[in-house]
């Protein structure tokens, strides 16, 4: 970078805009140095090139080994994925962190994070430094405890074309996708030096987006991440809320360190009965798991395994679970069936979730819900 530009950037960084402009000076993949504030919306997605064209080579030995080392995991849901931490009644408590890791009930944590609501609304999407520090501290403590951590991006509502939550930051439609890439640029740089047990997952449950658009965004995002993390394991999933049935449309860039993910909430009318975020709300009292339901559950897993083999990458189930309003005994039957079916197919998994409406842990009583914990995590 020419010295004059460096000087210019530094001067502006110190006098006017601090980190905002520094970010703009970081070269390819970042917002251009002279992007004036207010015009940052004009940065095009083309600023973030697609990955090189070529066939995905299949997983490297180290990524296969990492995937094999994953196992029965837990989602730290409804915490950092809420519009702000605590807005959905849960924060990442020390108590929760102490439950996992080498001394805990699970050594595998998926950490959903709503970055978009903690980033500037322009194309640069500068992530709030205080929020970054908060995520750092959670990631560091989970890693220090011995867990593997899948750090994702969750609930960027506008990317999915969904309505915003009440306190979500609204952004101009022209910057929605470029912000996704700008945020990954920052996240990837921030955590580039972390242990290999930190895994990035590009996006939770893409939906409301054409497959071709998602494949394009994925290709650009992989390239952005690879600038700072040439080999870190990177989790990617298909559209339709990460449904196994959409894997056949997923186009992977030629990268050997990818892991695939699917989510599995079928039979949906059973797992989501009474859930108020599903409209119209599903009636209560649905049982599980008769032969048809069981066939639906296992056939989706079979599809996932078959597609992963075709693509040449390992795959895990990043979310499954049944909401607390499902009949108790049926819920346990569902969990046991899923656990067994995933084990039979050699699929690692992450239960949705720790301490909210699906929770394996009761945060008010400070104790596990023994029946769920047994069904999932005990021999």
Burial (CB < 10 A; 0-12, 13-18, 19+), residue 365, is exposed
Output the smallest distance, CB 159 to ligand BGC, in A.
13
Q: Which is nearer to ligand BGC, 205 or 255 (CB)?
A: 205
Per CB under 6 A, 205 contacts ligand BGC: yes
Among 119, 120, 109, 190, smallest CA distance to 151 is for: 109
Task: Tell me the two tokens of residue 95.
Answer: 């108590």
Place of tokens 């189930």: 317
Output the smallest distance, CB 34 to ligand BGC, in A.
38
Task: Tell me the two tokens of residue 115.
Answer: 């970055």
Q: Which is nearer to ligand BGC, 89 or 346 (CB)?
A: 89
Output the smallest distance, CB 294 to ligand BGC, in A.
21
Per CB under 6 A, 203 contacts ligand BGC: no
Among 204, 215, 228, 257, binds ligand BGC (CB under 6 A): 204
* Type and span of the H or E element at 101: none
Per CB under 6 A, 352 contacts ligand BGC: yes
Q: Which is nearer to ligand BGC, 162 or 248 (CB)?
A: 162
Per CB under 6 A, 76 contacts ligand BGC: no
Per CB under 6 A, 201 contacts ligand BGC: no
Q: Which is nearer to ligand BGC, 151 or 175 (CB)?
A: 151
Binders of ligand BGC among 126-155, rule CB under 6 A?
154
Per CB under 6 A, 228 contacts ligand BGC: no
Among 158, 138, 145, 152, smallest CA distance to 108 is for: 145
Rounded distance, CA 4 to CA 243, Å? Answer: 50
Strand (E) positions, 258-370?
A: 258-263, 315-319, 349-351, 361-362, 367-368
Task: Tell me the two tokens of residue 6.
Answer: 């460096």
Per CB under 6 A, 313 contacts ligand BGC: no
Number of residues located near ligand BGC, criterion CB under 6 A:
6
Among 275, 188, 206, smallest CA distance to 243 is for: 206
Per CB under 6 A, 189 contacts ligand BGC: no
Output the smallest distance, CB 358 to ligand BGC, in A.
7
Q: Which is nearer to ligand BGC, 168 or 205 (CB)?
A: 205
Among 268, 234, 238, smallest CA distance to 250 is for: 238
Quick count: other Cβ atoms within 10 Å of Cβ 26? 16
Task: Tell me the two tokens of residue 112.
Answer: 């959903």
Q: Which is nearer to ligand BGC, 313 or 358 (CB)?
A: 358
**Contact, 101 vs 145, CB < 8 A?**
yes
Output the smallest distance, CB 81 to ligand BGC, in A.
6
Binding-site ranges for ligand BGC (CB under 6 A) = 81, 154, 204-205, 319, 352
């Amino acid at each position: 970078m020419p010295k004059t530009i460096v000087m210019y950037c530094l001067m502006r960084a110190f006098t006017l805009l601090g980190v905002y402009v520094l970010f703009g000076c970081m070269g390819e993949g970042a917002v251009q140095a002279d992007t004036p504030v207010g015009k940052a919306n004009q940065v095009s997605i083309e600023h973030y090139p697609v990955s090189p064209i070529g066939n995905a080579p299949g997983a490297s030995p180290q990524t296969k080994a990492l995937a094999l080392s994953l196992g029965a995991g837990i989602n730290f849901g409804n915490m950092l994925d809420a519009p702000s931490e605590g807005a959905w009644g849960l924060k990442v408590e020390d108590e929760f962190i102490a439950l996992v890791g080498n001394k805990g009930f699970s050594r595998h944590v998926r950490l959903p994070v709503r970055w978009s609501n903690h980033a500037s609304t322009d194309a640069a999407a500068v992530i709030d430094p205080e929020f970054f520090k908060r995520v750092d501290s959670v990631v560091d403590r989970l890693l220090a405890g011995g867990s593997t951590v899948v750090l994702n991006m969750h609930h960027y509502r506008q990317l999915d074309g969904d309505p915003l939550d009440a306190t979500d930051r609204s952004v101009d439609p022209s910057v929605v996708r470029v912000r996704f890439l700008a945020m990954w640029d920052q996240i990837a740089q921030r955590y580039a030096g972390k242990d290999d047990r930190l895994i990035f997952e590009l996006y939770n449950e893409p939906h409301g987006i054409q497959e071709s658009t998602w494949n394009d965004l994925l290709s650009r995002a992989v390239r952005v991440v690879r600038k700072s993390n040439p080999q870190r394991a990177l989790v990617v999933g298909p559209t339709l809320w990460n449904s196994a049935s959409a894997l056949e449309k997923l186009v992977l860039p030629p990268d050997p360190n990818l892991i695939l993910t699917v989510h599995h909430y079928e039979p949906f009318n059973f797992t989501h009965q009474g859930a108020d975020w599903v409209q119209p709300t599903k009636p209560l009292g649905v049982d599980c798991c008769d032969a048809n339901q069981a066939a639906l559950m296992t056939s989706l897993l079979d599809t996932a395994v078959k597609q992963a083999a075709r693509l040449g990458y390992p795959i895990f189930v990043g979310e499954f679970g049944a909401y607390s309003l499902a009949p108790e005994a049926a819920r346990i039957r569902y969990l046991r069936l899923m656990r067994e079916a995933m084990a039979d197919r050699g699929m690692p998994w992450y239960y949705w979730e720790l301490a909210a409406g699906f929770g394996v842990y009761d945060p008010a009583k400070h104790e596990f819900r023994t029946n769920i914990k047994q069904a999932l995590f005990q021999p």
